[in-house]
């Protein structure tokens, strides 16, 4: 495990109860940060994950739905109050809506409700959380890192709506870097296909084909993405407005 020195730093990680978010929370704790882990209210799996993290460092629960225009910012405010400030915001909460990929030709599946659920979490959630945290991040000369996707850069994602939301998040990353400069650095990580609870129901054939298309001949693990998050949040002091692709050299 690669770590950095985050002693005395505070971090809020949205969608931190499983997958990439949990791996990032665990890595930040190992690096000495105090971490607020956001999760959906009533998520027993996330509650168990947070309890398991307590032996690794100072972690607090930050329940709240980032897709909600009122509850998302309220969660950020409560987390900042509990942490006593904020140095790092990780916008990781996201949704594919469907547990399995949806063929791009199936336009009828892209209902208004599907689009709304996707955009409200993947794009607006990240914007609202960043907007709410901006004063504290500026005061700390902190950093924002968001979880984008190679689906936002032209590779096939789980659906048309998902890819579009991640493309918008990449654009938002650049815009927020301009808006919060020079005090706050804003970047994103664009993972390839990650073996996580999200992809546990994906077709085995698609998983295997993706694996074979990577130069490293394996799918990403959540810890691989967490390392990139740490790099952009704790170091990389002259990098802002960028999206770092982490996909094993996928063609």
- Is 162 annotated as catalytic? yes
Catalytic residue among 127, 162, 198, 231, which? Answer: 162
3-state secondary structure the chain: CCCCCCCCCEEEECCCCCHHHHHHHHHHHHCCCEEEEEECCCCHHHHHHHHHHHHHCCEEEEECCCCCCCHHHHHHHHHHHHHCCCCEEEECCCCCCCCCCCCCCCHHHCCHHHHHHHHHHHHHHHHHHHHHHHHHHHHHCCEEEEECCHHHHCCCCCCHHHHHHHHHHHHHHHHHHHHHCCCCEEEEEEECCECCHHHCCCCHHHHHHHHHCCCCCCCECHHHHHHHHHHHHHCCCCCCCCEEEECCCCC
Active site residues: 162
């Amino acid at each position: 495990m690669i770590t950095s020195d985050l002693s005395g730093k505070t971090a809020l990680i949205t969608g931190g109860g499983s997958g990439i978010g949990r791996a990032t929370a665990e890595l930040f704790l190992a690096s000495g940060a105090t971490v607020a882990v956001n999760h959906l209210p009533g998520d027993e799996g996330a509650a168990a994950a947070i309890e398991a993290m307590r032996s690794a460092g100072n972690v607090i629960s930050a329940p709240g739905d980032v897709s909600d225009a009122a509850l998302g910012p309220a969660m950020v405010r409560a987390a900042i109050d509990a942490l006593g400030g904020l140095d790092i915001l990780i916008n990781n909460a996201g949704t594919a809506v469907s547990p399995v990929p949806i063929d791009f030709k199936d336009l009828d599946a892209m209902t208004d409700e599907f689009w709304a659920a996707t955009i409200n979490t993947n794009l607006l959630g990240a914007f609202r959380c960043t907007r709410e945290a901006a004063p504290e991040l500026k005061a700390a000369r902190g950093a924002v890192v968001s979880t984008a996707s190679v689906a936002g850069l032209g590779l096939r994602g789980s659906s048309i709506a998902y890819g579009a939301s991640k493309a918008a998040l990449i654009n938002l990353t650049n815009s927020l870097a301009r808006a919060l400069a020079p005090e706050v650095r804003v970047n994103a990580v664009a993972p390839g296909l990650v073996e996580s609870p999200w992809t546990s129901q994906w077709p085995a054939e698609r998983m295997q084909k993706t694996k074979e298309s990577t130069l490293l001949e394996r799918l990403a693990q959540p810890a691989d993405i967490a390392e990139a998050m740490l790099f952009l949040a704790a170091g990389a002091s002259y990098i802002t407005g960028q999206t770092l692709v982490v996909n094993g050299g996928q063609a």
